Amino acid sequence: MAKKRGKPKGKRKPQPKQRSTSSEQATAIFQQKLRQSPLWAKMVVEFGEEEAAKLLEQFRLDIN
């Protein structure tokens, strides 16, 4: 006699991407601090919030 199967398991929910390297962690902190600085306000005035956000994403810190 065949065994009954339980409820079918759904697909696993994707886990949020974790900052795994120190460079990625430092970049996230740097970007967060920049958003809280007076420079961010100047960037928004000059470029608009959307473009300033795109520029901010390009700012990276590399730690070797």
Q: Tens of pLDDT along the chain (64 residues)? A: 566 666 666 666 555 555 468 889 999 999 999 999 999 999 999 999 999 999 999 988 888 7
Domain count, the chain: 1
Any domain includes 13: no
Q: Is residue 48 part of a domain?
A: yes
**pLDDT value of residue 33:** 95
Contact 34, 43 (CB under 8 A): no
Q: Is residue 14 part of a domain?
A: no
- What pLDDT is stored for residue 62 in this prediction? 84
Is residue 3 assigned to a domain?
no
Domain that residue 48 falls in: 22-58
Whether the CB-CB separation of 8 and 41 falls below 8 Å is answered with: no
- Domain annotation covers residue 15: no
- Say what the pLDDT of residue 16 is: 52
Burial 12-35 (b: 16+ CB within 10 A, else e): eeeeeeeeeeeebeebeeebeeee
